[in-house]
Chains A and B, each alone.
Chain A
Amino acid sequence: MNLLALCAALFLGGSLLSLVLCERPAWARQASCILAALASFVLLLESSSCLLAGTAYAWAWTGPTALGGFSWSLTPFSALFTALISGLGLVASIYALGYAEEYDSQAGSLGFFYNLFLLGMSLVPAARNVFTFLFCWEVMTLASFFLVILDHEKAEARKAGYLYFVMSQAGTACIFAAFFLLYKSTGSWDFAAFPAAAPGLSPLVKTAVFLFSLIGFGTKAGIVPLHIWLPHAHPAAPSHVSSLMSGAMIKTGIYGLLLVVCSFLGGGPWWWGALVLALGALSSVLGVLYALMENDSKRLLAFSSVENIGIILLGVGAAMIFQSLGQGSLAVLALTAGLFHAINHAVFKGLLFFGAGSVIKSTHTRNMEEMGGLIKRMPVTALCCLIGAMSISALPPLNGFASEWLTYQALLSGFGLSAAGPRVLCLLASAALALTGGLAAACFVKAFGISFLALPRSRHAEDAREASFFEQLGMAILAAACLILGLGSAAVVSILQPIAQALLAGVVSMPAAPASLVPGALLAVMTAAALAAWVAVRLIGGKPRVRTAPTWGCGLPGLSARMEYTATAFSKPFRMLFAFLYQPTREVRQDCTLSPYFPRNIRYSSEITFLIRDRLYQPVIRALLGISYFVRRLQAGSVNLYLAYLSATLTALLLLSVWRSR
């Protein structure tokens, strides 16, 4: 029995079973989640054994298809992404056992599309020909589209789904174009044939393939000018699906880009890398800047995904630059950093989305301004979220630190390059990464602090209950993974390095990695520093005294939640500092009875402008709508007019035939 076939069967079984059982929502939920978890577990074992031992599995199924049938197999490179997807899929399925209770009214369709989504996504990296790849890609996209519009009664979800659908189909069209260009020059749909034919391609075709795949896969990954669907679509789905979309699905975009650029084309001129690097820097800075302004907890996480994709692309772009300049070991280092960050982002973003989901499930609001004080009511969730937030803010010794540290080292060693252009670029990119890191820390201080600390800001938050067992289990697994990946980063890097090396063909010699990453020593230093600080404090300050007193409330009697620092207030300095980007508009309305000095109530609203949406997309959308309205006049609804089109066409064709026979 082939294991890939077994997984596919389990996923399909899960999706069908949840449809069959949709009259009994609890059963449907459990059946679909358990089968999805089983399938993901089998796939995780298989891909990690391939990753560790290098043994590949292949599964071909010659179905009735014109393009050569389905074919899958695992190489170490694809096994890495399969392991990432199925690992997160396993944990998400466990989490959903408890969490998806929230969606029991739609348990049948949720389970059906959830399993299909996982099936398509897990098999994308293993695909071995164009048809299989695009088929899995579309299954993944369409199933996730239906998951986004699961709450189709809400106009917001419908709008998000529409935007997601349009953007991802446009992206897929570009991927089609890239593959067709490759097919045209090689005459084969098989992935194995592409690398051999790549050296014979003209530079123009190569560049076209690169640009098409950058746009196509970049749309899925959420690179900055193409990211506009992401902050709408990810929050609209149920949280375990959001975590899969943010943690795993956007990584398929990175996989596809690496597959085409490194595996098929074997690298290119250095400006390809420069473009990727620039887009990565832009994505990371803009992503985190918009995340910082968000008060909707899931949208904040979605924007932060844009940021992290940017950081991954910084690694990938740097690797492409180094490869084209012949700096083999640096290229391997940069790509390793990028791949490592892809794994780490899956872990901590999955964790944070789980946390956000549990909080939303128990408070019934996504607005952080209505949360607060949850650390007392949901201690386990709070602890897991804290670990996730620390990890995404790149605090040692957690995993986020390890990969960002590697990325820094790669970028900074780019300063030793001889060519001036790449050198300046690397410097700018590392500056962008530093800015991103600082802003991300601020962003997650805000997210954690406003949601979990202080007093509850609303009745919802006061009545919050701790998450269910399975939710806690899912979060705990990922929190542990954050720690393990951080402490065991040296081992992870040693697994990733051969993959990066194999991807960057043309790297001749491989000296020892110039980067240093010793988590054990780091931990020791941190522990020693903490101990030293404690000792110093004891020496200077003497014995600690415990004094219990109410918080000082500026002399006012009693403290209430309305006096707390709000999320909007926390982000205000950044809003002022980056006003050129946000272009904030605010409105203050006062209702007064007698004089403006005695207002009855004051309303305050503040909004930021999304420049990319307004300046880049609006003109295009407006032009398209204008054309559509014009074309729509043809379709006036009059039967006579439609018949007239028919008659006119016939007459025109007859006239043409008369004219041609002359």
Chain B
Amino acid sequence: MTMTFLLALSLVSAFGILAFRSLHLVVRAYAAQSIFLGLAALLLGMSPGHGHVLGVAVSAILIKGFVIPWYLFQVMEEVRIQREAEPFISYPLSMIGAVGLALLSYAVVEPIAVHDPFAARGFALALTLMQLGLWLMVGRQKALMQVVGLLVVENGLFVAALATSFGMPMVVELGLAFDLLVAVVVVGLLIFRIQSTFSSINTERLSRLRG
């Protein structure tokens, strides 16, 4: 019951990420989503036989719930960007699209729900998060927003791993988390560079680099 509630909250925060205009709120929503998922993993780890998930859950909460959001706030402070003013896809349209994608994801998973309801539910959520993350990256121009989109996709992968095989081995999971950290740092640096070259972090400007 609690598990379902946590998963539902993570889905709601994904829609929140899509709906907010302020970058602060978006990053906070992402942090909340990561913490909800981490708590869900913790719950799974407490059930008998899945003890190894506990470590993964704790590291996910720490890295994705606190370290990455903190770093993103630093980046925002540095480039002084607060809001997404001109999205590539307008907000109402991106909400409608997101609902469609979520429905599609649940429809895809439906055939396997008969055999394994738990995995099906988790996998549907995972697919939804991945699709929504990608959709976020498509619809926004600010590089920071696209970073958040990528992070949401990663959260989807996390859910998929938990739902289908009760988490990947500890080493892989930790490696993934560190990869993510490194990727975010690199993208942060890239954002600084885009900012200093184009005095904007709109990735649309990158098309000027085309030969």
Q: Which residues of A does B touch, CB under 8 Å?
A: 635-640, 643-644, 646-647, 650-651, 654-655, 657-658, 661
Q: Does B48 contact A (CB under 8 A)?
A: no
Residues of the A chain whose Cβ atoms lie less than 8 Å from the Cβ of B206: 637-639
Are B138 and A640 touching (Cβ within 8 A)?
yes
Identify which of A644, A657, A658 contacts B138 (C-beta below 8 A): A644
Tell me how far the C-beta of B100 lies from the nearest C-beta in chain A, rounded to whole angstroms: 9
Q: Which of B14-22, B38-46, B104-112, B164-172 contacts A (4 or more CB under 8 A)?
A: B104-112
Also in contact, A657 and B134, with CB within 8 A (given A637-B209, A640-B141): no
Are A647 and B207 touching (Cβ within 8 A)?
no
Q: Does B34 contact A (CB under 8 A)?
A: no
Residues of the B chain whose Cβ atoms lie less than 8 Å from the Cβ of A647: 131, 134-135, 138
Residues of the A chain whose Cβ atoms lie less than 8 Å from the Cβ of B111: 661
Q: Which residue of B lies closest to A640 (CB)?
A: B88
Identify which of A635, A640, A644, A657 contacts B203 (C-beta below 8 A): A640
Q: Which residue of B lies closest to A648 (CB)?
A: B138
Q: Does B137 contact A (CB under 8 A)?
A: yes
Residues of the B chain whose Cβ atoms lie less than 8 Å from the Cβ of A638: 203-204, 206-207
Are A655 and B203 touching (Cβ within 8 A)?
no
Q: Which residue of B lies closest to A638 (CB)?
A: B207
Q: Does B101 contact A (CB under 8 A)?
A: yes
Residues of the B chain whose Cβ atoms lie less than 8 Å from the Cβ of A637: 206-210
Residues of the A chain whose Cβ atoms lie less than 8 Å from the Cβ of B107: 658
Residues of the A chain whose Cβ atoms lie less than 8 Å from the Cβ of B204: 638-640
Q: Which residue of B lies closest to A644 (CB)?
A: B138
Tell me how far the C-beta of B149 lies from the nearest C-beta in chain A, rounded to whole angstroms: 8
Q: Does B69 contact A (CB under 8 A)?
A: no
Write 9 A-B pairs (CB below 8 A) sorted by A numbering.
A636-B207, A637-B207, A638-B206, A643-B138, A647-B134, A647-B135, A647-B138, A654-B105, A661-B111
Interface size class of B (residues with CB under 8 A): 20 to 34
Q: Does B146 contact A (CB under 8 A)?
A: yes
Tell me how far the C-beta of B93 lies from the nearest C-beta in chain A, rounded to whole angstroms: 13
Are A651 and B88 touching (Cβ within 8 A)?
no
Are A651 and B207 touching (Cβ within 8 A)?
no
Are B108 and A654 touching (Cβ within 8 A)?
yes
CA distance A636 to B206 in the complex (A): 10
Identify which of B104, B127, B203, B208 contacts A639 (C-beta below 8 A): B203
Also in contact, A643 and B137, with CB within 8 A (given A636-B207, A637-B210): yes
Tell me how far the C-beta of B27 lies from the nearest C-beta in chain A, rounded to whole angstroms: 20
CA distance A640 to B139 in the complex (A): 7
Q: Which residue of A lies closest to B112 (CB)?
A: A661
Q: Which residue of B lies closest to A661 (CB)?
A: B111
Are B134 and A646 touching (Cβ within 8 A)?
yes
Tell me how far the C-beta of A617 lies from the nearest C-beta in chain B, rounded to whole angstroms: 26
CA distance A593 to B62 in the complex (A): 89
Residues of the B chain whose Cβ atoms lie less than 8 Å from the Cβ of A644: 138
CA distance A195 to B104 in the complex (A): 59
Residues of the A chain whose Cβ atoms lie less than 8 Å from the Cβ of B127: 654
The 4 closest A-B pairs by CB, nearest first: A637-B207, A637-B210, A639-B203, A640-B88
* Bitwise interface map of B from 171 to 207 toward A, beta carbon under 8 Å scored 1, else 0: 0000000000000000000000000000000011011
Are B108 and A658 touching (Cβ within 8 A)?
yes
Q: Which residue of A lies closest to B203 (CB)?
A: A639
Residues of the B chain whose Cβ atoms lie less than 8 Å from the Cβ of A635: 210
The residue among B101, B138, B203, B206 with the most chain A CB atoms within 10 A of its own CB is B138
Residues of the A chain whose Cβ atoms lie less than 8 Å from the Cβ of B140: 640
CA distance A661 to B107 in the complex (A): 10
CA distance A190 to B118 in the complex (A): 58
